[in-house]
Structure 1
C-alpha cells in the first residue's frame, strides 16, 4: 500500500471519527431533554428493561453491519452509563439550584498526581464550574479546609477493595459537622515508577503511602531485602523519587501520574487483588436534596445502648423497613473505653417513607444517631443481557 493511499484512508477515518463525536454530542443533548421530562413526570432515571431491549436491538443491528456483539455490548454499556450519570447530574442541579458554583474549591490528599487528585478530577468533570485544586497533607487538614470555608468540598478515600476501610477517615467523620454529598469508585492501578534506565534488580528503596504498602505487600515482599519508606501520599512518593534522581529508588503510584514527575513504569498491576478499587466520598458544609428518581445512598452514625442484642435490634429496624444495608463499620469512641460508634451505609433516600420510619424508630432506641448524608449512587451497574437471550433474539429473524 502506497503512502498516498494510506494517508487517504487515515483522512477518511479522521472524518468518520468527527462524525461519531457529533452524533455522540447530539445524543447527549437528547439525554438532557429526557432528564427534563423525567423531572416533570417523576420517572426514575433507570429503566433496566428498556436498556436491555435497546442493547438487544443494537447487537442485532450491529451484526447486520458485520460488527462483533461483544464490541457493541462494551461500547453501549459505556454510552448508557454516561447517559445515566449525565441525567443524574442534571436532576441534582435542578433539585439543588443554590449548589451551583462558578468555582469549585476542592481539598484532597496529596499533590497533583495522587489517587485522590485523580478521583477529584473524575468527580468534578461532570460538575459545572471551574475546579480549584487544594492539595493537603492529612485527612484532618482536608476537613479543616472545608470547615473554615477555605474549600467548598473535600474528597476523602473511605475504603479499598484490597486494604479495607480507612479508619482515620471514619474517625474524622465522627467529629465533623460536614455532610456527605457524593461518592465515586475509582480504579487503583499501582505501578513501580523509576527514572529512565533504572532496572527492577537495582532498586533498594521504595517510597509509598502506607495504604499502598498494604495493598502491594505481596509484591514488595517478593523484592527481597529492600527498604520501604512511607509518604503522606502517592504524589509525595513520586516527588521524592523525582527529586532524588537516584539509580536505586522507586515510587509506587499511577503510571499516568508518574509522567508528571519524570518517572516511568517498569512494573504494573502490583496490588494483591487485581480488582483494586477505592471508594471516595465527597463532603461539604451543606447537605443536598437527592431527587427521588435518582438512586440514593444514606450514611448514618449511631451508638447503641450497652445491652445484649442492642445492635442486632437496631439493624432489624432496617430489615423490617426493607432497607438494604451495604456497609457496617465500627470505630471506638474517644474517651469511652470499650464503646463503639457504628457507621452504616444503606441504599435509599432520606425522604422515602420507609427510611423516615426507620430513622424515627432508631432515634428512639439509640444513644446517639446522626445522618452524615444522603447522596446519589454513582457506581452504575452495566446493562447486561444473557448470551442465550441475545442468541434467541437473533434466531427470531
Structure 2
C-alpha cells in the first residue's frame, strides 16, 4: 500500500521546483521583452512557438502525455506573452475629446411608438426629431454613407438573445457603437376598438416579438401568426385593414398612437423582458467616462485558438460580458467573434489585452468604447 502522505510530500517538493523554474523563466521573458522593445520586434512569433511545441510534445510518454505537455507549455508561453505585452503595450491612448453626443440628424428602425424610438429618445432626449427606417440595413447604410449622423438599432433581447443580423451589418458598413440603451419590453395584443379576443384569427408583428410572446400565442393554436416589418407597422396594418379578426403585438403606446384597443397586456414570456439597443455612428471618438468596449476579431481555424485569444482577458483581469460568433462570408465553418467587455481604452489592462488580441488574431476591429446602459 502506497503511503499517501509521503507521496504528497514528494509532490510538494516537485511543485516547489516547478515554481522556482517558472519564476526563473519569467525573468528571462523580461529580457526578451526588453530586447523586443529595443529592436521593435513583435511579441508573438507563431513559427517559433509552433516549432517549440512540436519538440516538447515529443517528450510525452504516450498520447495523453503528449497532449498534456502541449497544453501545459501552450499556457506557459501564453503567460509569457501577456507579461511581454504588459511591458510593451503598443496601443496608443485614445483622445477623449467628446463629452456628449447630440444631433438632429438621427435615424432609427421602425416607426412612431416603437421600442426603438423610445430608446432613441431616452438616449438623445424626448424632443429629438428623427427619421424612421423600415430595415436594419437601411439604418446602417444611412450612417455609412453619411446621410444620417447616428442610428439606433436593437441588438439583444433578454429572452430571445442576440439579433445576429446587426453584427454582420456593423462589419459591412464599418460603423462604430457610440452608446446603448436598455428598454423594458411591455408587449400587448392590439386590435380594432370593436374587437375582442374571440374575434382574432391573425396576429402580426416583427419576428422578435412573436418569439418573445410564444407562450401566450400557444394558448391560441387556431391563430395564424405573420412576421411583419416592425411592431408599429403591424399596428398600422391592423388599423388600415380594418378587419376585426386581425391583431398586432406591439407596445401599448402603439395602441394610443393608432387608436387601437389593448386586447391583452404583459404577454411576453418573461415579465422582466428587456431589449438592448445600440447607438451607431461613423466616427471613432469616445467619451471620457466610457466603461464598456465592443470588439470583433477573427482567429486561425485550429485547436486552441479561441482559448488562447480569450486568455488576454483572463490575465488582464478584464470582465467579458458577452461573446457572439457569426459565420465569415465565403469561408465555410469559420467564424468571426464579437466580444463586449468592461473597461476604458485608456485603462492599462485594456491596453495590454488589446495589444495581445491585435498581435494574435488574424484580424481585429474596435467597434466602440461607450457608457454601458446598466452603469448609468
Is 1:379 equivalent to 2:374 in the alignment?
Answer: yes
Q: Is the 8 A contact 2:170 2:176 kept in 1?
A: no
1:105 aligns to what? 105
Is 1:312 equivalent to 2:312 in the alignment?
Answer: no
Q: Counterpart of 2:218 in 1: which secondary structure?
A: helix
1:295 to partner: Cα distance: 5.3
Q: Counterpart of 1:274 in 2: which secondary structure?
A: coil
Is 1:171 equivalent to 2:183 in the alignment?
Answer: no
1:267 aligns to what? 264
Q: Is the 8 A contact 2:318 2:342 kept in 1?
A: yes
1:177 to partner: Cα distance: 1.6
* TM alignment of 1:329-344, pairs within 5 A: 329-344=324-339
2:364 alignment partner, one of 359, 362, 369:
369
Q: Which deviations, in whole Å up to 9, do the C-alpha atoms of 1:238-258 show, x marking residues without a partner?
A: 100010111111111000222
1:95 to partner: Cα distance: 4.0
1:328 aligns to what? 323
Q: Is the 8 A contact 2:290 2:369 kept in 1?
A: no
Q: Which deviations, in whole Å up to 9, do the C-alpha atoms of 1:211-233 show, x marking residues without a partner?
A: 11111111111112111111110
Q: 1:171 and 1:371 mapped to 2: Cα distance?
A: 14
Q: Is the 8 A contact 2:294 2:367 kept in 1?
A: yes
Q: Which deviations, in whole Å up to 9, do the C-alpha atoms of 1:65-85 show, x marking residues without a partner?
A: xxxxxxxxxxxxxxxxxxxxx
Q: 1:285 and 1:171 mapped to 2: Cα distance?
A: 16
1:354 alignment partner, one of 349, 353, 357:
349
Q: Is the 8 A contact 1:191 1:254 kept in 2?
A: yes
Q: Is the 8 A contact 2:292 2:344 kept in 1?
A: yes
Q: Counterpart of 1:147 in 2: which secondary structure?
A: helix
Q: Counterpart of 1:174 in 2: which secondary structure?
A: helix
Q: Is the 8 A contact 1:119 1:280 kept in 2?
A: yes
Q: TM-score, normalised by structure 1?
A: 0.68
Q: Which deviations, in whole Å up to 9, do the C-alpha atoms of 1:129-154 show, x marking residues without a partner?
A: x6231111111100111112111101
* TM alignment of 1:145-224, pairs within 5 A: 145-224=142-221
1:229 aligns to what? 226
Q: Is the 8 A contact 1:297 1:377 kept in 2?
A: yes
Q: Is the 8 A contact 1:290 1:349 kept in 2?
A: no
Deviating runs (4+, > 6 A) in structure 1? none
Structure 2, unpaired ranges of 5+: 1-95
Q: 1:290 and 1:183 mapped to 2: Cα distance?
A: 13
Is 1:125 equivalent to 2:125 in the alignment?
Answer: yes
Q: 2:306 and 2:202 mapped to 1: Cα distance?
A: 46
Q: Counterpart of 2:286 in 1: which secondary structure?
A: coil
1:116 aligns to what? 116
* TM alignment of 1:280-299, pairs within 5 A: 280-291=277-288, 294=289, 296-299=291-294
Q: Counterpart of 1:222 in 2: which secondary structure?
A: coil
Q: Which deviations, in whole Å up to 9, do the C-alpha atoms of 1:97-139 show, x marking residues without a partner?
A: 6x665x422111111112111111111118xxx6231111111
Q: Which deviations, in whole Å up to 9, do the C-alpha atoms of 1:35-81 show, x marking residues without a partner?
A: xxxxxxxxxxxxxxxxxxxxxxxxxxxxxxxxxxxxxxxxxxxxxxx
Q: 1:134 and 1:259 mapped to 2: Cα distance?
A: 21
Larger radius of gyration: 2
- Equivalent pairs, count: 281
* TM alignment of 1:65-104, pairs within 5 A: 95-96=97-98, 101=102, 103-104=103-104
Q: Is the 8 A contact 1:108 1:117 kept in 2?
A: yes
Q: Which deviations, in whole Å up to 9, do the C-alpha atoms of 1:360-387 show, x marking residues without a partner?
A: 1111111011100000122248xxxxxx
Q: TM-score, normalised by structure 2?
A: 0.72
